[in-house]
Amino acid sequence: MNFLYKTYLLIVFIVLTVVCSNAQGNDPIPSSLPPKLNTAIDKILDDQFADIEEMLVRVDSFKANEVLLVTVPLENYIEDVLFTINRPATIYPGILYEALRDLYRQGKMRREIEHTLIIMQKNNQFQKLYESKKQK
């Protein structure tokens, strides 16, 4: 299989995993995470991603050295693409938290997780998951 096809299959699997786990009501998103956040300020983006990583360590007991800073490539991508053209970014902290939690539970390696987050952002998967969850 080619790389793009494998990436597509991984994204579909993640989306299905998140949707199915939400449908069953398993592992709620911590209430301190906003469902949706619009910002054009990199410090707010940085703080929100740091909060998500910290919750994965504190709430889900993942190892700090594996989780901390895993969102930096995604943050850099968002800043490079959106902030450089003076557009605010919309992120979905709860959905991002669930996706990261599921990827770590699946035993994915750090590089694969970082890459998957960027692909999900490029393909608007976070927004699609948010909207499908909102409709329930």
Whether residue 78 is predicted with pLDDT greater than 90 in this model: the reply is yes
Token look-up 């054009």 returns 40
Q: What is the pTM of this model?
A: 0.79
The CA distance from 32 to 133, in Å, is 18
What does the pLDDT read at residue 102? 97
* Confidence tier at 15 by pLDDT (50, 70, 90): low
The CA distance from 123 to 36, in Å, is 17
The CA distance from 136 to 133, in Å, is 5
| DSSP letter for each residue of 55-74 | HHHHTT---HHHHTTTTHHH
The CA distance from 29 to 31, in Å, is 6
